[in-house]
């Protein structure tokens, strides 16, 4: 290759064929795969393969994308979502997701990682879809089929660090920062000497996913670990790069940040000093729901547990908005300000909330069916963009463990020790499964089963009805106007009353959430002029309420939706 200056080398070639292997030798050293490889058919350490995405024949049926207010996101892990664990196997289940009513699937990271089992956050080839999932060809087929079925595709990407095994980036240039690190490994260099090429490396990756794979958005993992003191933050440049490609495609592309900062500078426009991203996660909603329903108060849940926290999450999005955090030992966050609710993605379960528990247990095995139905209502009737984790819609009871398949025993041992130390420090007594064992991975595969007449089938029906309501009930499309309040009952029970829609609008809804195991004869306030639209404890959803029972009462852990007569 011929040097061009500033560390760049080129070797023009016009006779490469699809699948042809190639590698680099740096100063006579060992052969290394391409850090920007689009295809690693033989794994992370072997030579890269030539791939021509422009040769794929798209058949999207006039796909025009999904606007942000219409997003209902379904997060899935390709390897455990089906028995086969491939992109093509996900295609086979798309009709069930369409029936559920979600509008977007979010794939946990799919860039090439060691072995064939991993959450995806240890990837080292950021441009290459995982070979064991079906490689780049399989991902193209999945996106094409999803668009034809009316589903957007969001991709979880990791730009804060690179996995440890097979990580040859540091041999090619100053890709890693000297001045800071992340909890998961060396941080990417966005603002030190030589960082221009590193920034372009990330921006080229953004363009590839949107241009070549036509994904509808990116979920940026842990942006709080992306340190950048440059005049223009890398997050703002990521958004600009995605917007450029979106304009060429003529459809929306959503850039959504996972952040634990509770800081809306991520969303603020550049003229207000922000980065202009489309949306950000708000984990406060999960913490508030989880702490109330489970009674857990360890770790992050130390700052939550009162029903009033849930009221605040419904009204103001951030619970920790400049108040003292017991978990952190300091003031945390800032107010969400005037941003509409559809700028925030909320959940009751995610891969993190399940897999980073010692037992990796889900709500399906932790909560009663009634509590799971209540949690579904809190999520899907909240004035935010809802995010579901695969299986929660039918009360999946199998765990979702942390798993990996490092090829180097040293890395495998390091992960085992790290997991043990983490949970021992938190005083968890349960026996941890070996993340490297294949059984840990296979135990995490979703059953994808809800027998007719079971409470699981009823729960899934409730999810279907609530998601349909978000499409058809106008008040649920209003992400600005909402009013929640806590009603303390004389017997000690807690009831949340949530209004969605304007007070002068006949499409306004009133929703009551019973956060107790008590039966409530009549909710406080004047409900005589209202009719019951939906009750979570209806027999239709697997509850004890008789099919013809239209009384405005509340069974234990029930929510009811009322409208004006």
Whether residue 55 is contained in a domain is answered as: no
What is the C-alpha to C-alpha distance for residues 464 and 478, in angstroms, rounded to an integer? 20
Q: How many CB atoms lie within 10 A of CB 247?
A: 10
Q: How many CB atoms lie within 10 A of CB 29?
A: 9
Strand partners, 181: 186
Residues 6+ apart with CB under 8 A from 348: 285, 286, 289, 290, 363, 375, 376, 378, 379, 392
What is the C-alpha to C-alpha distance for residues 332 and 321, in angstroms, rounded to an integer? 6
| CA geometry: angle 477, 478, 479, nearest 5 deg | 105
Whether residue 247 is contained in a domain is answered as: yes
Whether residue 544 is contained in a domain is answered as: yes
Q: At what angle do helices 135-148 and 87-100 cross, to 10 degrees?
A: 20
What is the domain-level CATH number for residue 325? 3.20.20.80
For residues 106 and 219, is the Cβ–Cβ distance under 8 A?
Answer: yes
What is the C-alpha to C-alpha distance for residues 172 and 189, in angstroms, rounded to an integer? 13
Strand partners, 10: 2
Q: Are residues 265 and 194 in the same domain?
A: yes
Number of separate helices (H) and strands (E) present in the chain: 14, 25
Candidates 75, 69, 65; CA nearest to 471 is 69
CA-to-CA dists, residue 226 to 257, 300, 334, 447, angstroms: 11, 22, 19, 36
Q: Are residues 399 and 547 in the same domain?
A: no
Strand partners, 106: 75, 154
What is the domain-level CATH number for residue 536? 2.60.40.1180
Residue 61 confidence (pLDDT): 80
Domain count along the chain: 2
Q: What is the C-alpha R_g of the chain?
A: 24
Candidates 433, 313, 296, 430; CA nearest to 363 is 296
pTM score: 0.97
What is the C-alpha to C-alpha distance for residues 6 and 18, in angstroms, rounded to an integer? 30
Whether residue 27 is contained in a domain is answered as: no
Question: Which element (helix H / strand E) includes 532?
Answer: strand 530-535
What is residue 368's DSSP assignment? -
For residues 160 and 121, is the Cβ–Cβ distance under 8 A?
Answer: no
Q: Are residues 315 and 420 in the same domain?
A: yes
Whether residue 86 is contained in a domain is answered as: yes
Residue 431 confidence (pLDDT): 81
Handedness of CA 348, 350, 352, 358 (dihedral sign): positive
329 sits in the region (left: phi over 0; alpha: psi -120 to 50; else beta) called left
CA-to-CA dists, residue 120 to 109, 163, 516, angstroms: 5, 9, 39
**Domain end marker among 455, 472, 497:** 455
Whether residue 49 is contained in a domain is answered as: no
What is the C-alpha to C-alpha distance for residues 115 and 406, in angstroms, rounded to an integer? 6
Q: Are residues 496 and 426 in the same domain?
A: no
Q: Are residues 424 and 537 in the same domain?
A: no
What is the C-alpha to C-alpha distance for residues 559 and 373, in angstroms, rounded to an integer? 8
Q: At what angle do helices 87-100 and 455-472 cross, to 10 degrees?
A: 70
Q: Are residues 177 and 214 in the same domain?
A: yes
Candidates 213, 203, 204, 219; CA nearest to 254 is 219
Residue 427 confidence (pLDDT): 66
| Residue spans of the chain under pLDDT 50 | none
Catalytic sites, residue numbers: 221, 258
Q: Are residues 557 and 451 in the same domain?
A: no
Q: Are residues 187 and 295 in the same domain?
A: yes
Whether residue 3 is contained in a domain is answered as: no
The token duo for 396 is 């999946």
Question: Which element (helix H / strand E) includes 210?
Answer: helix 195-211
Interstrand relation of 217-220 and 254-257 (parallel, antiparallel or unpaired): parallel
For residues 278 and 255, is the Cβ–Cβ distance under 8 A?
Answer: yes
**Domain end marker among 455, 489, 507:** 455
Q: How many CB atoms lie within 10 A of CB 45?
A: 17
Whether residue 19 is contained in a domain is answered as: no
Q: Are residues 492 and 445 in the same domain?
A: no
| DSSP state string for 99-111 | HHT--EEEEPP-E
| DSSP state string for 310-340 | HHHHHHHS-SSSSEEETTTTEEE----TT--
Residue 424 confidence (pLDDT): 78
What is the C-alpha to C-alpha distance for residues 1 and 11, in angstroms, rounded to an integer? 5
Residue 204 confidence (pLDDT): 98
CA-to-CA dists, residue 429 to 359, 363, 421, angstroms: 10, 20, 12
Range of the domain at 99: 65-455
Q: Are residues 197 and 159 in the same domain?
A: yes
What is residue 565's DSSP assignment? -
Q: Are residues 429 and 328 in the same domain?
A: yes
Q: Are residues 86 and 185 in the same domain?
A: yes
Residue 15 confidence (pLDDT): 86
């Amino acid at each position: 290759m011929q040097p061009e200056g500033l560390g760049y080398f080129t070797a023009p070639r016009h006779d490469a064929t699809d699948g042809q292997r190639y590698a680099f030798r740096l100063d006579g050293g060992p052969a290394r795969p391409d850090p920007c490889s689009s295809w690693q058919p033989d794994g992370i350490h072997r030579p890269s393969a030539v791939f021509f995405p422009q040769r794929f024949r798209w058949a999207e049926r006039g796909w025009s994308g999904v606007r942000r207010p219409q997003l209902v996101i379904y997060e899935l892990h390709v390897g455990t979502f089906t028995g086969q664990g491939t992109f093509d196997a996900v295609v086979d289940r798309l009709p069930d997701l369409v029936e559920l009513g979600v509008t977007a699937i979010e794939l946990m990271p799919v860039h090439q990682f060691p072995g064939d089992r991993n959450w995806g956050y240890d990837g080292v080839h950021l441009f290459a879809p995982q070979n064991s999932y079906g490689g780049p060809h399989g991902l193209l087929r999945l996106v094409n089929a999803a668009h034809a079925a009316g589903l957007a595709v969001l991709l979880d990407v990791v730009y804060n660090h690179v996995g440890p095994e097979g990580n040859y980036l540091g041999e090619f240039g100053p890709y890693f920062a000297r001045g800071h690190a992340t909890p998961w490994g060396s941080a990417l260099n966005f603002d030190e000497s030589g960082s221009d090429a590193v920034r372009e490396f990330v921006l080229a990756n953004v363009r590839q996913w949107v241009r070549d794979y036509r994904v509808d958005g990116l979920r940026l993992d842990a942006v709080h670990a992306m340190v950048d003191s440059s005049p223009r933050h890398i997050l703002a440049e990521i958004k600009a790069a995605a917007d450029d490609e979106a304009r060429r495609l003529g459809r929306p592309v959503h850039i959504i940040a996972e952040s634990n900062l509770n800081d809306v500078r991520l969303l603020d426009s550049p003229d207000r000093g922000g980065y202009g991203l489309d949306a950000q996660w708000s984990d406060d909603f999960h913490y508030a729901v989880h702490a109330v329903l489970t009674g857990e108060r360890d770790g992050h849940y130390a700052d939550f547990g009162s029903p009033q926290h849930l009221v605040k999450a419904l009204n103001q999005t951030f619970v920790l908005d400049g108040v003292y955090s017991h978990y952190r030992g300091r003031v945390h966050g800032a107010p969400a300000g005037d941003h509409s609710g559809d700028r925030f993605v909320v959940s009751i379960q995610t891969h993190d909330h399940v897999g980073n528990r010692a037992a990796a247990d889900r709500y399906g095995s932790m909560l009663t069916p009634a509590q799971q139905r209540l949690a579904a209502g809190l999520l899907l009737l909240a004035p935010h963009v809802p995010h579901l984790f695969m299986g929660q819609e039918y009360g999946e009871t199998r765990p979702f463990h942390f798993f990996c398949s490092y090829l180097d025993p040293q890395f495998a041992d390091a992960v085992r020790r790290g997991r043990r130390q983490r949970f021992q420090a938190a005083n968890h007594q349960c026996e941890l499964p070996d993340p490297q064992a294949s059984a840990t991975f296979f135990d995490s595969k979703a059953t994808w089963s809800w027998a007719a007449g079971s409470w699981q089938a009823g729960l899934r029906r409730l999810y279907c009805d609530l998601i349909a309501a978000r499409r058809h009930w106008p008040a649920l499309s209003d992400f600005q106007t909402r009013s929640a309040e806590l009603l303390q009952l004389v017997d000690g029970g807690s009831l949340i009353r949530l209004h969605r829609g304007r007070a002068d609008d006949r499409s306004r809804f009133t929703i009551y959430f019973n956060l107790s195991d008590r039966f409530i004869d009549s909710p406080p306030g004047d409900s005589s002029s209202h009719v019951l639209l939906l009750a979570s404890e209806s027999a239709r959803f697997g509850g004890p309420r008789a099919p013809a029972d239209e009384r405005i009462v509340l069974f234990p852990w029930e929510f009811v939706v009322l409208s004006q007569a």
